[in-house]
A and B are shown apart, each in its own frame.
Chain A
Amino acid sequence: MTASASSTRVRGETILDVNHVVKHFPITQGVLFQKKVGAVKAVDGVSFQLRRGETLGIVGESGCGKSTLARLLMRLEKPTAGRATLAGQDLFAASGGELRRIRRNMQMVMQDPYTSLNPRMTVGDIIGEPFEIHPEAAPKGSRQRRVQELLDVVGLNPEHINRYPHQFSGGQRQRIGIARALALRPEVIVCDEPVSALDVSIQAQVINLLEELQDELGLSYIFIAHDLSVVRHISDRVAVMYLGRIVEIGTEDEIYDRATHPYTQALLSAAPVPDPDARDHRTIIRLRGDVPSPADPPSGCHFRTRCWKAQEICAIQDPQAVLRAADPHPSACHFAELRPTAT
């Protein structure tokens, strides 16, 4: 019934293939006669594959391009270069009706539950809007029932269909956003920081919900977050981004236990651990300074200006994310090695 019949779903095969995607935002001057004076290299050549039924976590600090990457995949921004296919269809070339059909297969859950729902629409209208845009997804008579089912699926009271977003708490609104994303039965859901605006006790509820939905509906997630613990909890594989590039990608174990890129190691060491006993025998790698501006990233390895291992070659040669001897997973560092104290 949907664009992708469930019979064709095979776990493990690649559903989303992203190839060297680039997004440069031009920096311009002038209003009517614009002059390009530079470019913010928000996403600078990102490649990865997402397999059916898996969760790919993307971590990185603010400005690393992870949210821009999500917006590119959702076609909210036009890529400067690169290719991406979703279930074999070219994501970036599609337009008009074809793009609309592709959109049915990939949806996004946004970060801010307060601005992602139109305050002047009822919950029923918000979750029902996908059916209005895609009338073929549900016959008119069944729409209200479908909306109520969706409310139920995400753990909200189906009778609250006529309420407005402001009558719900942050966690409940995020569930509404999830219901809207589920409405068209997509195979891929991009979650852009879906729990970072929520209180600790509510975060766990939403994470559990996302995991349950994945098990039951066979969803594939791209899970973008800055919270390393949350990403580890939910992800099968993890990509670490720095200044528009993926510096290291691997299974959850490979990244969290056997990271070989110095940035990943620093990031992990700096993450606060909720255990006061760990205070004394924890060594935090202290990075120098701040993330450089993406409008003017360092030559060669983008991380070299803050890296304690940096040598001359780092400024000259751009390290590729290839398998490294230290541990066989892609790591974009000339001097990739396991952290001596890593457990």
Chain B
Amino acid sequence: MSQHAVRPTPASPTPPGGHLLEVRDLHVEFRTGEGLAKVINGVSYHLDPGETLAVLGESGSGKSVTAQAVMGILDTPPAHISSGEIRYQGQDLLGLPEAQRRQIRGRDIAMIFQDALSALNPVFPVGWQIGETLRQRLGMSRADARRRSVELMDLVQIPAASERLGDYPHQFSGGMRQRVMIAMALAMEPKVLIADEPTTALDVTVQAQIMDLLADLRRDLDMAMILITHDLGVVADVADRIAVMYAGRIVEHADVRSLYRAPAHPYTKGLLDSIPRLDQRGGKLSTIRGLPPNLMRIPSGCPFHPRCPYVQQVCVDVVPHDLVLDDGRTSACHFAQEVRDDRVS
């Protein structure tokens, strides 16, 4: 995997003070009973203040594992970070002792999950759960924590917040629970919010509400956001940049408009072509043939080559580097330029 050189990620040169958050050439393995699964194979991305980066991928692509590594909540074992750096404000998080990481987790980087019901403790009122962080970490008094909890619930637009403080998680609807979890994540005013499939379990009308809320909060609180999702529609609505992951690598990294207009990796192109469109009817969907690879036996060369319609001998033999295209995007495909222009012509 050393063939993967660390390259600058696209769209913006490193600012003088460095990026807010930067993942460099991260490798994560899972040691399982059946063997070694290479779940993350050289992932690099960065995040600057106030922007939204979407990490897009299917199950098993490693999109959530990367985020868990950033948060420092990987289950080790079986997971094991074999190499790489995760820098927050220039500081390598992987080199820090656990006590210091815990300080950064929650205070600077917070995370929300797909399943709000299991992320909340069923036996405590939500107000108490939001306030717990405030009391524990900021040493707030009960009354202050309570006041702040109401503010936070107002912030995430939970109606009649002060009356619902004493309610338990099961008394909230799915959308409201997600709001409670967002309120908890915002308690410490983090600079980075990682949202792992925040709306996957929700209905479309509620999903729209939550995505709006996240976009508003990001702007109002000047947070940076990493949005992890498999939904190409949600991404198009809110992201500034997109990193597409496949088999533990970022195969394409671009600003959102150019990626949708002209994908430069066959996988991205295949994904965009295979989703039915709301504004189009019928016809045969084009598909990506085959299945995602077994992470214990990742194919040689380009991991996508067994499913790729453009496959050539070189794809079987050589791992493609991240090609930087003329517009600053990167694509880990030997034929990135051709794939992109194919679409244009």
Contact = CB atoms under 8 A, between A and B. Distances in A.
Contacts of B284: 208, 211
Interface in A237-280: 252-253, 256, 266-268, 270-279
A276 B205 CA distance: 19
Contacts of A316: none
Contacts, number: 134
Given A232-B281, A272-B237, A226 B232 contact: no
A233 B282 contact: yes
A206 B230 CA distance: 18
A230 B231 CA distance: 13
Contacts of B257: 276-277
Given A204-B286, A208-B287, A270-B207, A276 B236 contact: yes
A111 B186 CA distance: 35
Contact of A266 (B175, B205, B207, B271): B205
Nearest to B257: A276
Contacts of B261: 277
A310 interface: no
A278 B232 CA distance: 13
A159 interface: no
Q: How large is the interface on A (under 10, 10 to 19, 20 to 34, 35 or more residues)?
A: 35 or more
A232 B284 CA distance: 13
Contacts of B291: 169, 171-172, 202
Interface string A266-309: 11101111111111000010110111000000000000000000
- Most A CB contacts (10 A, CB to CB) among B204, B235, B260 go to B204
B208 interface: yes
Contact of A272 (B58, B207, B271): B207
A116 interface: no
A338 interface: no
A276 B260 contact: yes
Given A199-B58, A286-B208, A287-B205, A279 B237 contact: yes
B329 to A, nearest CB: 14
B278 A228 contact: yes
Interface string B188-211: 000000000000000111111101
Interface in B157-198: 159, 173-176
Nearest to B56: A200
Contact of B275 (A204, A252, A287, A343): A204
B212 interface: yes
A61 interface: yes
Contacts of A228: 204, 278
B220 interface: no
B274 interface: yes
Question: Secondary structure of the A side of the interface?
Answer: helix
Contacts of A287: 205, 209
A2 interface: no
Given A169-B291, A208-B285, A229-B277, A201 B256 contact: no
B279 A273 contact: yes
A202 B58 CA distance: 10
A61 B204 contact: yes
B212 A286 contact: yes
A234 B211 CA distance: 27
Interface in B247-288: 256-257, 260-261, 270-272, 274-288
A142 B230 CA distance: 43
A272 B234 contact: yes
A180 to B, nearest CB: 21
Contact of B204 (A232, A253, A267): A267
A205 interface: yes
B208 A270 contact: yes
- Most B CB contacts (10 A, CB to CB) among A201, A252, A274, A275 go to A201
B12 interface: no
Given A274-B233, A276-B260, A290-B175, A200 B208 contact: no
A199 B59 contact: yes
19 contacts: A61-B205, A169-B291, A171-B291, A172-B291, A199-B292, A201-B58, A204-B286, A204-B287, A229-B276, A229-B277, A229-B278, A233-B277, A233-B285, A267-B205, A270-B205, A272-B204, A274-B233, A278-B236, A290-B206
Given A201-B292, A211-B284, 16 more contacts: A201-B270, A201-B287, A226-B203, A232-B276, A267-B205, A268-B278, A271-B233, A272-B204, A272-B233, A272-B237, A273-B236, A273-B237, A276-B237, A276-B257, A287-B205, A287-B209
Interface of B: 58-59, 159, 173-176, 203-209, 211-212, 230-237, 239, 256-257, 260-261, 270-272, 274-288, 291-292
Interface of A: 61-62, 169, 171-172, 199-205, 207-208, 211, 226, 228-230, 232-234, 252-253, 256, 266-268, 270-279, 284, 286-287, 289-291, 343
